[in-house]
Amino acid sequence: MKVAIFASGNGTNFEELTRHFLAGDLPGELSLLFCNHPDAPVMDRADRLGIPSESFTVKSCGGKKAYENKLLRVLDKYQIDFIVLAGYLRVVGPTILNKYDHRIINLHPAWLPEYPGLHSIERAFNDHQKQTGVTVHYIDANLDSGPIIAQCHVPILASDTVTTLEERVHATEHQLYPLALREALIAAGEKE
């Protein structure tokens, strides 16, 4: 099974998942990084790790429909079977969703259904919650609402700042995502 990771920024989760693929801990082959920001640091990580990468923006394509059609051609070129979102800060539209039904997973830094969307860690912290979490889920047409694969709570400590909470959430992501991805890839392989 050929896997693509979509990312938009720094790429720490991309690098963590790549390490697991290269070590043989995850079934399938990591065949592509796609980034919608050509200058994002994740592009340098892909280059350093020897992972093929492609990058273009919605603007450079002239709109979302053309962007998704171009992205679909890239996925076909690399013969991608499964997509992993790792800090991909765009809503995946129907062009991609329809082709990859139940074959796209996302990592979200909250205990869904709480705090969908952006700034989840900061919102949980500012609401003085006792805990937040990390969720891995399949994506659907709605924002952060697809079927959940795995979740893990992260306590919010009295001594926390947003920065220290973010560090613990990210550490939890790095532990949970490879395990949940392995489960999802095995399930997808069994359906073939």
Q: Which position among 108, 137, 170, 174 bears the catalytic label?
A: 108
Residue 3 backbone dihedrals phi, psi, to 5 degrees:
-115, 140
Sign of CA dihedral 174, 179, 184, 190: positive
The span from the CA of 182 to the CA of 60, in Å, is 34
Query: Is 63 marked as a binding-site residue?
Result: no
Query: Is 12 marked as a binding-site residue?
Result: yes
Are 4 and 75 in contact by the 8 Å Cβ rule? The answer is yes
- The amino acid sitting at 40 is A
Please report which residue ranges of 32-104 form alpha helices under DSSP H.
41-49, 58-61, 64-77, 94-99
Query: Is 11 marked as a binding-site residue?
Result: yes
Query: Is 69 marked as a binding-site residue?
Result: no
108 is catalytic: yes
Residue 120 tokens, joined: 């989840």
Strands across the sheet containing 29-35: 53-55, 29-35, 2-7, 82-85, 104-108, 131-138, 148-155
Tell me which H or E stretch contains 192: none
Query: Is 189 marked as a binding-site residue?
Result: no
Give binding residues as ranges: 11-13, 64, 106
* Enzyme catalytic residues: 108
Give binding residues for (6R)-10-formyltetrahydrofolate as ranges: 64, 106
